[in-house]
Amino acid sequence: MAEGAWGLVLLARVVGVTAVVALLLVSGAWDSWRTAQHVMLTKGREHGTMTLASCVDSTCTGPFTPKGTALARAKVTISLPIRHDTGAKIPVAIEPGTDKAVRAGWGGVLFAWVPLGGALLLAAVVLAGGLRMRRTAWAAAACGAALLAGAFLTL
């Protein structure tokens, strides 16, 4: 093979692996933002507390007690990890137009960004193996692990 051909092969490899890293990070951020927007952009959102009445698998239901001008609801649904017991009061925000609640506060913000944390960990493996960017991979892995650990500890 000519020298120019090897250069094109290496360029194609770098471009392809970079595209995979970008796809991982964009998809993780996109998935996280679907939930995070309700927790982080609070203006005009219904906020309050939810009392867990019943929990089946990782879905809990219960009444919503509003804070401010929001309307009280007899039953809202939330997806939570199994660390919560019935009777617990959880700060929540209601997704507009639905009866679905999302966790509010720091725990809710970190939990909403968990998909990005996982994407950072996966991207770190690709960065280290495919692009040989070991320092960048360690930084991405540390950020992803810190995000996942923070979400676990605050819930």
4-34 tens-digit pLDDT: 778 888 899 999 999 999 999 999 999 999 9
Is the domain of 49 the same as that of 99?
A: yes
Kind and range of the H or E run holding 123: helix 114-130
pLDDT of residue 2: 65
Phi, psi of 94, deg, nearest 5: -95, 135
Is the domain of 84 the same as that of 49?
A: yes
* Burial class of 57 by CB neighbour count within 10 A (0 to 12, 13 to 18, 19+): exposed
Of 18, 23, 14, 15, nearest to 119 (Cα)? 23
Phi, psi of 89, deg, nearest 5: -105, 125
Among 66, 86, 104, residue at a domain's last position: 104
3-state secondary structure of 131: coil
**pLDDT (tens digit per residue) in 104-138:** 889 889 999 999 999 999 999 999 999 999 999 99
Count of domains for the chain: 2
Is the domain of 8 the same as that of 59?
A: no
Would the pLDDT of 81 be above 90? Answer: no
Output DSSP code: residue 72.
P
Is the domain of 35 the same as that of 56?
A: no
The Cα 127–Cα 59 span in angstroms is: 36
Is the domain of 54 the same as that of 68?
A: yes
Angle 144-150-152 from CA coordinates, rounded to 5° = 105
Structural domain harbouring 80: 43-104
Average pLDDT over every residue of 76-82: 80
Is the domain of 34 the same as that of 47?
A: no
Among 66, 81, 104, residue at a domain's last position: 104
Is the domain of 126 the same as that of 144?
A: yes
151 — alpha (psi -120 to 50), left (phi > 0) or beta? alpha
